[in-house]
Structure formats: C-alpha cells, structure tokens
C-alpha cells in the first residue's frame, strides 16, 4: 500500500538476488517487516530505472549506471529551499546505502565478483537535529487529551503518558501485548528491533493513566474476533491486526495538536520519543541509561539528543543573555 500522497509503485518481479537479500535481512539480521519493505522499495526503484532507462537489471548494473541513477534521483527529489535540499540528500544517501548492502551480499554469496558501489561517494549531509517538544507543550497535549473524559480520551491519555514515560517506538507501543505489563504495572517488557528485549520503567503518571485505561479497555474489544483483540493492550475492533494501528495513533495526535493549539507539524509519535530522550538528558539522566530505554544498539544514535540540548542552550544564551544583541533589542 502506498503512503498517503505517494502514488503506488508498480510491483515488478525483481531479480531473484533481491529476494535472497531480503530473506537474509529477515533470517540473519532479524529485520522487521517495515525494514524489509523499505529495502524492497529502494531496490525496486533502482530496478525499474535500470530496466526502463539502461536496458539492464540490478544484478548486472555498472558503476556508471548507478551513478546515473543517483544523479537522476537527486534531480527528481531536489526542491529549492534548505530543508527540501536536505530531504533530497538523505534520499540519495539512503538509496546508496541500500545498494551497498545489496552488492556486498552478492559478492559474499559469490553471485557477483565486484561491488559497483565501492567507488561511489556518499552525498555530504549536514547534521539535521530531530524535532522535539518543550515540557510545557507535552503537558498541554496531555491536559487537552484528558478534557473530554470519554473512553477514547482515557485511552489517548494513557498512550501519551506511556510514550512520554518510556520513549517506545510507535510500533512497539501500539503492538504491546497484555503480557508486557510487569508486576504492579511498574515496568514494561518490550520486544524491540532484531528481537532485542528490554525492560522499561513506567512513571507514576503513566501507571495511573494505565490503571484508568484498564477500566475502559473492554470498550475497544468487539464481540467478534475477540481472541484476536484480547491479547493486545490497545485492542481495536477495526484493525486487521487486532490492535490500534500506527497510522490511527498518528492521526489522533494530529487532531489533538490542533485542539491543544500546538503546531501539528511538530507532533507525532516519533517526536514524542525525541521529547522523552531530550527532556531526560536535559534533567541529568546519563546517556547509557537513555540508550537502554530507547533500545538503541549503538550509543552514537542516542548522542544526537545531546546536540539538541546544546542547540537549545545556545538559543537561550542568544535570546536571554544581557549582552546579547537580540536580548537587548527586546
């Protein structure tokens, strides 16, 4: 299924080596379905270009053909404006990364003797800091979500409190089984990427929100297909999976942001995950603990949040310091 606003990609029959590569990602690296689909989209796009423009296929592509593809991709995705330019660069870099992994796999399997990406340089990317929210904005979202007092409102407050208390990925949150709730609801056991399991503590407000939600949870379980829904912490009567979907939760947050008068472009499940990490670190939490709670395999991924704090501090000094020109102009 295509993403909203994106035309559906034709479903070509890809070269068997692509299927073998995707199978390897799943069986050897424990890649999630979303990761596998992302690689499929990247490699399918390259395959279509090579077939339509170069009378070739991905298994026998040359370095020059791949350079031509990346140049064409860059021109198609480039839109004037600093932020749009960064999007184009990230798209090209991600596609090249997928190609590199694919051809290294082919070489390791002996189905190709050379790696055509070995001499292709990655595009230079400026450091893009993730969006986040202030503590006041998070509080405003939770307060606004609680106002209706309906079962849907109680569920949304629980989702917000749990996400802000744990920093879970949205797929981890909506897909929590009932068995994830620990003794006395003080922690969650989360199955993360590549099957890595971690325990995450729940804050007092999150525990209270969970208790309130459990009193209304059965309202979200239909009379049919009950077994498919009962196992999930956030069941859904309308979802094929039996639980609340990522897309529905994201839409609920957009609606909430408008009601709370918070910029909806800065409100999403992933941005609340950023807020969790940023606010913890700014209040003195150690980086290693935050890494474990986020489920990052590499601490370098977690370190990006220290840069957000640094940028915020610089802005505070610029705006508030008595010798700052900006502060003096107010």
Tell me which residues are annotated as active site: 169, 193, 270, 273, 296, 305
From the CA atom positions of the chain, what is the Rg in Å? 23
Q: Show the tokens assigned to 194.
A: 């590549």
Three-class secondary structure of residue 201 per DSSP:
strand
Cα distances (angstroms) measured from residue 116 to each of 14, 15, 43, 67, 226:
19, 17, 15, 10, 52
Residue 170: how many other CB atoms lie within 10 Å: 21
Cα distances (angstroms) measured from residue 55 to each of 10, 50, 98, 100, 235:
18, 6, 21, 21, 49
Answer yes or no: are the C-beta atoms of 15 and 47 closer than 8 Å. yes
Cα distances (angstroms) measured from residue 14 to each of 10, 19, 116, 136, 280:
11, 7, 19, 49, 45
Helices 63-77 and 82-109 cross at an angle (nearest 10°) of 160
Q: Show the tokens assigned to 18.
A: 């692509």
Answer yes or no: are the C-beta atoms of 50 and 61 closer than 8 Å. yes
CA–CA separation, 192 and 32 (whole Å): 9
Span between the terminal Cα atoms of the chain, in Å: 51
**74 burial type by CB count under 10 A (0-12 exposed, 13-18 middle, 19+ buried):** middle
Sign of CA dihedral 218, 220, 225, 229: negative
CA–CA separation, 295 and 193 (whole Å): 8
């Amino acid at each position: 299924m295509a993403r909203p606003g994106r035309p559906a990609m034709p479903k070509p029959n890809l070269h068997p080596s692509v299927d073998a590569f995707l199978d390897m990602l799943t069986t050897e690296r424990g890649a999630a379905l979303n990761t596998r689909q992302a690689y499929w989209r990247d490699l399918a796009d390259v395959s279509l270009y090579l077939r339509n423009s170069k009378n070739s296929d991905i298994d026998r592509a040359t370095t020059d053909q791949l350079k031509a593809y990346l140049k064409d991709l860059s021109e198609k995705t480039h839109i004037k404006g600093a932020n749009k330019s960064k999007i184009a660069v990230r798209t090209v870099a991600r596609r090249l990364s997928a190609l590199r992994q694919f051809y290294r796999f082919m070489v390791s399997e002996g189905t190709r003797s050379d790696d055509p990406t070995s001499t292709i340089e990655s595009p230079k990317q400026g450091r893009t800091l993730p969006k986040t929210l202030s503590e006041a904005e998070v509080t405003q979202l939770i307060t606004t979500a609680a106002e209706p007092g309906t079962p849907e409102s109680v569920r949304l407050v629980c989702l917000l409190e749990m996400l802000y208390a744990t920093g879970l990925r949205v797929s981890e949150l909506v897909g929590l089984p009932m068995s994830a709730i620990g003794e006395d609801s003080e922690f969650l056991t989360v199955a993360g990427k590549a099957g890595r399991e971690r325990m995450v503590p729940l804050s007092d407000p999150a525990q209270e929100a969970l208790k309130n939600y459990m009193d209304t949870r059965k309202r979200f379980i239909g009379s049919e297909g009950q077994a498919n829904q009962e196992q999930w912490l956030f069941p859904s009567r309308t979802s094929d999976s039996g639980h609340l979907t990522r897309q529905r939760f994201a839409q609920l947050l957009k609606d909430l942001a408008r009601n709370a008068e918070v910029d909806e472009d800065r409100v999403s499940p992933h941005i609340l995950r950023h807020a969790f990490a940023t606010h913890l670190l700014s209040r003195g939490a150690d980086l290693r603990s935050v890494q474990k709670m986020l489920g990052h395999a590499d601490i370098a991924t977690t370190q990006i949040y220290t840069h957000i704090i640094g940028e915020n501090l610089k802005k505070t000094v610029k705006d508030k310091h008595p010798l700052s020109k900006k502060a003096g102009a107010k």
